[in-house]
Amino acid sequence: MSSIITTRTWQCAQAHLQRCGARLPARTFAPIALGIRRASIKYIRPAKVTRNRSKYGLIKCKDSAAISINDSDGPSDITEFQKLAEDGEATVQDLRTFLTKTKARLSSLPLANRHDQAAHAGGEKALLWLWEYRLDARKEDLDYRGLFEPLCWLLAAEHNESFVIEWVKKSRQTIADQGVVEGSRDWARHKAWCGNLLGWFIEAKLQWSPHGSVDPALEAMKRIVDALQGTVALRFKMQSVTAISSALTDDDRPPCNAALYEWFIGLRKMTDPREYTRHLDSLFHPASPDPLPYARWASDYYEHPKKPKEEIKKLKALRSVGAFMLRAAYISRLLGDVPTARKMEDLVQEHHPLVWGYRQRIARKANLNLGDLHAKAKVETSALPAVAWRNKSDIVPHNERDG
């Protein structure tokens, strides 16, 4: 429901700006109705790209892209790398260089050409070579930093999910044949290796997802968990859950499948059992968002603090918390729960003034009236199914609403 509201109100705002001869960035309107997200911070000031040299001779950028310092060093495609491998001269650094250069080169292409060329760039061959190298050199502690991200980016373009699953199964069987005991140091290395490979694969599925949908990544994650039941490393779950959780709270993405969302919630409870997370799950549900649990938690947290002052101060510094409170206020107002909406807005003004100020500045810049937007969204959603997920006692009587 919230995605429909956001899309329609965005179209209304964009039409108004076009009449005025102005244009608002695509990510900028969301804070007007739902609050500021961390992804929107870059519109306050130009993003700074931090660069630092790693020990592998790469430049690490803020967006996780790695660019080779000297493009003439090392293989630049799978053909050059295979020639080194046939001569017995290939190293992990050569593989890392080839993968990094390939991703950097293809990332500048249009999406259709990028996907087609990435699917034939040799990701499967690279993983096979890596497997043989580990067996020959006994490199169970092989450093995967800067390696798995571009590798999984190519594997996901090849739709090589089943190959990755079989690779993990084979790796686990090899560890068992070597007599490695569960809980030992070698076992921990194995879990870290497989967990990071699977985790980066899920993140790559998010990057390749058409129209920004989270469904392909959720479907792949479910198949992996089912295929590797009892053997999937916790690190994979944590890394994948973090990536997908961030995507699910991105208002620019289309809503995901409700059944997949319910499955994901159950999986996330294994890695993040916090009460705060459960309330976010209700707030961002694609079919039946309920802002009341999050609103109650926020109200109790700020008005009856039970945590140390230092922890509360850190929470106030998180702009995403204020954004979620504005989202809860917006949905509450659409459902007729005006007191809850006002309460959330008052708390944001008091404890998250930057979020509230940024929201107001955008409204003034776009010459939009928030009250008109709320009224328009209420009319547009009047034909939606009744909100059966809320108790009748939670709905404010009609004569107590402020319109």
pLDDT of residue 45: 31
Q: Domain boundaries in the chain?
A: 1-37+298-384
pTM score: 0.67
The residues that bridge with 67 in the sheet, in sequence order, are: 59
Of 174-183, 210-219, 233-242, 314-323, which one has max mean pLDDT?
210-219
Higher pLDDT, 109 or 385: 109
The mean pLDDT of 119-132, rounded to a whole number, is: 87
> Is the per-residue pLDDT at 153 higher than 80?
yes
Rank 25-29, 51-55, 187-191, 348-352 by mean pLDDT and report only the highest.
348-352
In this prediction, residues 317-331 reach a mean pLDDT of 83
Q: Is 108 helix (H, G, I), strand (E, B) or coil?
A: coil
List, in sequence order, the alpha helices (H) in 272-337: 275-283, 292-303, 309-317, 319-334
At residue 202, the pLDDT reads 92
Report the pLDDT averaged over residues 279-291. Answer: 88
Q: How far apart are CA 253 and CA 3, in angstroms?
A: 9
Indicate if the pLDDT at residue 106 is higher than 50. yes
Average pLDDT over residues 65-79: 62
pLDDT band at 40 (very low <50, low <70, confident <90, very high): very low
Percent of the chain with pLDDT over 70: 65
Amino acid at residue number 155:
L
Q: What value does the mean pLDDT of the chain take?
A: 72
Structure confidence at residue 136 (pLDDT): 55
Q: How many CB atoms lie within 10 A of CB 380?
A: 16
- pLDDT (average), residues 339-351: 90
In sequence order, which residues have a C-beta less than 8 Å from that of residue 201 and are 6 or more positions away?
152, 155, 156, 161, 164, 220, 224
pLDDT digits (tens, 9 = 90+) for 157-172: 998 888 888 888 887 8
Q: With CA atoms as reference, report the closest residue to 319 among 48, 40, 54.
A: 40
Q: How many CA atoms lie within 13 A of 45 on its CB side?
A: 2
Q: Residues 236-273: pLDDT tens digits? A: 777 788 888 888 888 788 888 999 999 998 888 777 77
pLDDT surpassing 90 at residue 219 = yes
